[in-house]
Structure 1
Amino acid sequence: MNDRLAAPSALLLLLAAPAIGCADTSQPEVSYDAIAEAAPPGAIAARAWTVELEEATVAFGPVYFCAASGGAATLCDAAVAEMLSIARVDLLDPAPQPLGRVHGFEGRIRSASFDYGVHWFLTEASPTPAPEAPGGHSARLRGRATRGAEVLDFVAEVDAVPQNPGQNAVPSIGLAARVGAEPVRLVVRFDVAAWIARVNFDELAAGGAAEVAIAPGSRAHNVLVKAMTAQDLPELRWIDAAVAP
């Protein structure tokens, strides 16, 4: 499904060429809303430091859903749905936030792959941020860390990008869901506190500066990327559409 030869819908490619062995297009089609859910973190414990976030935004999407349990980073052997939209999510806002609409077929979903607002199609020379990407990055985090009388202000512009063309930033995340005829809604829950808690603020404060920028290529930046793409992934779950978000 998501070999992403270019930007067009992978499901359209499926319908035009079902012989590639992805989804069973004899299944009924489905379409449903996706929303983001963020738990405002309050004070975050990061070793001996306490961190308060003043800004936390992340771009999410597109997402590709597979009937297979994962495997190849660039191909989905049994794709069943996709959400091609990209949305900017305020991770400090507890209210549900719209992500877009999922289109696909009824069936089991065992894995998904997705980007954080920066895609790298095979036709592109380098990763390309979507307009929804904050400042052209996957995420922007700004806040203050304190340890006793020590105060450290920081800004992190995080690039969680695909490693190679045709891939996603997160090549595969295991899931266990089945979408049938009953109306459902996809909820994607983000845990920004888990990302921040992994940062070594001792290292950031070692230079003695009162303000630091966590830039791409730095150790702290790499820690955040790993958290977003491998350690503290968003939780994806399907709920009854009749349940209030």
Structure 2
Amino acid sequence: MINSNQLYNNRPSLKGILKLTGQIGISAGKVLIFILLVFGMTNCLLVFYALVQLAAAGFSWANMGISVLVVLLAFGFTMLACYLTYRYIMLLSIKKVYDMTLEQRTKISEDIIQRVEGSFNGRQELSQAQLRQTVDWSKTVYRFYQSVPIFFQSGITQYLNRIPITNYIIALKEDILAGNHRIAAVKLRFSIDEFFEAYIIGSPSNIWTWLLFPVNIVILYSLITWGVIYP
């Protein structure tokens, strides 16, 4: 059960959110620059190696094509590494903001339960489409996350839209109709948190970027070594 002290301690101030945003921005910039330097410098060396091999082998359209392909792949690998790192930073940032806003998540669950109660009353069955009309994540997030910058509101909304919220609401129908709104809201928040943690955010990691690095080197080096045609 959530007590008032827990809610108070987890209530983020605008100053706290902005401070976190600034810290994330600085850290993100450093990480992206580092990744760009690592991949950029490595690929520049590989491109230079390709040009040296091309000069040694002599000009031919086939060798020129290999060189152009090396340049394109080098650029592509670098951009892909930056994208993967950006995605990692986004997930990590949203997770931090999400973790800071326990009170908002609790109120959102209570608000959803109150709104769907009227939809359940007097109806034997209620379609998921009807429930989705009741739960509008973009409006809900805007209402309860006003202290969070729009950038993070958009990200949180995007990920919340992946949650099968209607399934959870239908499972809570008996509690809602019985008037156990508090219990239903707590169950709903736990279900949302579990899904968010397990299937959306999890434990953000930049491992794919670093796995890409040796792949980048092996592919380009192999292409240069075995692709250049000597007379």
* Structure-2-length-normalised TM-score: 0.28
More strand by share: 1
Answer with 1 or 2: which has the greater Rg.
2
Give the TM-score of the pair, scaled to structure 1: 0.27
